[in-house]
């Protein structure tokens, strides 16, 4: 007869119980800044440093982004932790990214309630009483679930439930708010509700319904011109191999959404590049000509479908299949002929098996589809642009991206920032391996550097490069200090054109509040105690990047790039305005 043991055999304080929950869930990092009652949790983690690393950041924004990226890369909830009002003021960037991008994450904070004076508006209180901020409602607006703990036992159990909610179904951020009473007593192992080991709160991936899988497989086998659109959900489920296998089995070209860029390598045999507003014309043309579209792990939002232009996707002339773990996402933007609800990795594996049973395309058909893909790549200039070899100064961004592509290893992780530099990366940078690029879903500046920090911590042997504009660098420059403090050897590449490029290009001749003073960021980096390299000539780029990657220390490569000659309009699809 099966029996379930209890979590605790002795009395512990809440902080110790929370630390044990993180250990049991396999969470080995916490990102944040101490403050308020959260110092009690840090004090408990002092005794768990061999299993849980506490990464001190210089700003709560860094903590939230690093937690989101940890969750996206590992599949385990990333933890950002700090004092209530300051987490609310500064920690929502990564939280919003996790909320919109389905990354599992826990946002741990406190009320700073100063009980029993809670209703007398104590300093920094966030209980929602008169004279206080409302932490719970503020956090609930940007999380999948928000839990409040008022006792030591509730604090431990809420951490377990938070992990469960963050991982169940479509992942996302969960807020945990601790009242000061949580830290004033101990957890009785015999009390109720009984606390059980955290493993019982970790959800399992479930296979998709076989009937819907069979229906989708039959449609794929019957299609003459199938195409796959892959989104960030492929990354969340680590379905890289399964996606590639199905594409090759069907001879179906693979486009990705912007947030899914890199889930299928753009050097791959079936690659179309990114589709949508700022994607490759190769991808948009092929999707528009397809008779069947398989959407995997994407909501098919407006930016991914050129504002839902029927020349790209039209359910009146195309069969649409969708795989998503969240039923709400299915047939959200477009009605689907078949919906497969399930984890992308399992569903794609099931679908591959079903295609074999239904009768996969013949070698002759696969050869015809490969030839058609080659022809459209040639016609549309797939990753072929004269700026890649430009010797102009200031440096043209595509030349920088080509040099970066050539300098990095195939599995290097590239993290993008926001602004025009991200549009250029989306369009011009060609990914080399699966799961090698992370992009901010909400398009907020200051993402690339903390994202690279987290990536390097998750996989220390992997090259991690943050690509940012000078605007985004200014917002996350404190991340360079964190890289130095925590010995995280990331490389930061700055497109330094002295402006908020997207904004300034959009202003035409009415330029206001969009230009920066000329700044040598390599000198700034050197003054901060890390390595800085200034690049002003195109033939210096490759050597500078290789030197930075080989240095073994945090390095900033400041590349002086052109403002004129290329703008967001040059990478905007003609279909966007249709």
**The pLDDT of residue 206:** 85
Instruction: Report the distance separating Cα 438 and Cα 451, nearest Å.
Output: 8
pLDDT > 50? residue 412: yes
Residue 187 belongs to what H/E stretch? strand 186-187
Closest CA to 88 of 64, 120, 119: 64
For residue range 289-346, list pLDDT tens digits in order: 999 999 999 999 999 999 999 999 999 999 999 999 999 999 999 999 999 999 999 9
CA distances from 493 to 397, 404, 416, 545 (A): 11, 9, 10, 8
Q: What angle is formed at CA 342 by the lines to CA 340 and CA 346, rounded to 5 degrees?
A: 105
CATH of 386-574, one of 3.40.50.300, 3.40.50.970, 2.60.40.10, 3.30.70.940: 3.40.50.970
Instruction: Report the distance separating Cα 61 and Cα 454, nearest Å.
Output: 13
pLDDT > 80? residue 558: yes
**The pLDDT of residue 578:** 56
**The pLDDT of residue 2:** 57
- Domain 12-201 shares a fold with domain 386-574: yes
Instruction: Report the distance separating Cα 349 and Cα 318, nearest Å.
Output: 24
- Per the prediction, the chain carries an average pLDDT of 95
Higher-confidence position of 358 and 158 = 158
Instruction: Report the distance separating Cα 328 and Cα 341, nearest Å.
Output: 10
Q: Does domain 210-380 have CATH number 3.40.50.1220?
A: yes
Structure tokens at 236: 């969340």
Closest CA to 436 of 465, 478, 479, 407: 465
**The pLDDT of residue 442:** 86
For residue range 257-294, list pLDDT tens digits in order: 999 999 999 999 999 999 999 999 999 999 999 999 99
Q: What is the CA radius of gyration of the chain?
A: 25
Strands 437-438 and 413-416: parallel
For 420-459, b/e burial (b = at least 16 CB within 10 A) is bbbbbbbbbbbbbbbbbbbbbbebbbbbbbbbbbbbbbbe
Over range 457-481, report the average pLDDT.
97
Structural domain boundaries in the chain: 12-201, 210-380, 386-574
**Secondary structure, 3-state, 316-384:** CCCEEEEEECCHHHCCCCCCCCEEEECCHHHHHHHHHHHHHHHCCCCHHHHHHHHHHHHHHHHHHCCCC
Structure tokens at 155: 């604090």
pLDDT > 80? residue 212: yes
**The pLDDT of residue 205:** 86
Closest CA to 397 of 474, 304, 501, 475: 501
Instruction: Report the distance separating Cα 71 and Cα 510, nearest Å.
Output: 42
Assigned CATH topology for domain 12-201: Rossmann fold (3.40.50)
pLDDT > 60? residue 1: no
- The torsion of the CA quartet 540, 543, 544, 545, rounded to 10 degrees, works out to 120
Distance in Å from the first CA to the final CA of the chain: 65
Closest CA to 465 of 447, 430, 490, 434: 490
For residue range 85-119, list pLDDT tens digits in order: 999 999 999 999 999 999 999 999 999 999 999 99
CA distances from 100 to 36, 96, 318, 401, 423 (A): 29, 6, 28, 27, 19
Write down how long the chain is: 578
pLDDT > 90? residue 575: no
Over range 168-190, report the average pLDDT.
94
């Amino acid at each position: 007869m099966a029996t379930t043991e209890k979590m605790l055999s002795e009395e512990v304080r809440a902080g110790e119980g929370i630390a044990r929950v993180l250990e049991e869930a396999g969470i080995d990092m916490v990102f944040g800044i101490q403050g308020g009652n959260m110092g009690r949790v840090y004090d408990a983690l002092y005794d768990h440093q061999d299993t849980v690393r506490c990464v001190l950041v210089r700003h709560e924004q860094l903590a939230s982004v690093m937690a989101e990226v940890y969750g996206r890369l590992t599949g385990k909830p990333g933890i950002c932790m700090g004092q209530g009002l300051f987490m609310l003021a500064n920690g929502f960037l990564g939280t919003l990214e996790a909320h919109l991008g389905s990354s599992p994450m826990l946002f741990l904070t406190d009320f700073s309630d100063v009980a029993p004076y809670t209703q007398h508006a104590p300093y920094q209180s966030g209980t929602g009483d008169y004279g206080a901020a409302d932490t719970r409602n503020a956090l609930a607006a940007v999380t999948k679930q928000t839990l409040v703990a008022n006792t030591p036992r509730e604090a431990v159990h809420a951490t377990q439930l938070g992990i469960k909610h963050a991982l169940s179904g479509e992942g996302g951020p969960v807020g945990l708010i601790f009242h000061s009473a949580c830290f004033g007593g101990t957890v009785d192992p015999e009390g109720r509700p009984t606390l059980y080991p955290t493993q019982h709160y970790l959800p399992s991936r479930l296979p998709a319904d076989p009937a819907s899988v069979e229906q989708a497989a039959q449609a794929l086998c019957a299609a003459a011109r199938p195409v796959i659109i892959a989104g960030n959900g492929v990354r969340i489920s680590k379905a890289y191999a399964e996606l590639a296998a199905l594409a090759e089995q069907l001879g179906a070209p693979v486009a990705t959404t912007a947030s899914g860029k890199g889930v299928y390598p753009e050097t791959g045999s079936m690659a179309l590049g990114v589709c949508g507003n700022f994607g490759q014309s190769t991808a948009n043309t092929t999707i528009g000509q397809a008779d069947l579209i398989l959407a995997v792990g994407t909501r098919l939002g407006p930016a991914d479908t050129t504002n839902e232009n029927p020349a790209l996707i039209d359910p009146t002339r195309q069969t649409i299949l969708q795989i998503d773990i969240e039923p709400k996402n299915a047939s959200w933007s477009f009605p689907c002929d078949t919906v497969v609800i399930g984890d992308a990795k399992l569903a794609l594996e099931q679908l591959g098996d079903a295609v074999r049973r239904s009768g996969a395309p013949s070698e002759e058909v696969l050869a015809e589809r490969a030839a058609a893909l080659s022809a459209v790549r040639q016609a549309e200039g797939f990753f072929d642009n004269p700026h890649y070899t430009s010797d102009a100064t200031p440096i043209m961004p595509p030349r920088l991206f080509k040099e970066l592509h050539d300098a990095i290893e195939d599995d290097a992780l590239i993290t993008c920032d926001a602004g025009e530099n991200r549009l250029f990366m989306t369009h011009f940078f060609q990914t080399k391996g699966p799961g090698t690029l992370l992009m901010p879903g909400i398009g907020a500046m200051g993402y690339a550097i903390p994202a690279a920090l987290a990536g390097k911590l998750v996989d220390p042997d992997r090259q991690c490069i943050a690509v940012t504009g000078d605007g985004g660098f200014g917002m996350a420059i404190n991340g360079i200090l964190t890289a130095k403090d925590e010995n995280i050897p990331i490389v930061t590449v700055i497109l330094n054109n002295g402006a908020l490029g997207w904004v300034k290009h959009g202003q035409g001749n009415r330029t206001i509040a969009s230009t920066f003073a000329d700044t040598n960021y390599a000198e700034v980096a050197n003054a901060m105690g890390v390595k800085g390299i200034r690049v002003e000539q195109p033939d210096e780029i490759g050597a500078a990047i290789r030197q930075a990657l080989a240095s073994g220390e945090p390095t900033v490569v400041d590349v002086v790039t052109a403002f004129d000659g290329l703008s967001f309009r040059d990478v905007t699809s003609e279909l966007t305005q249709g």
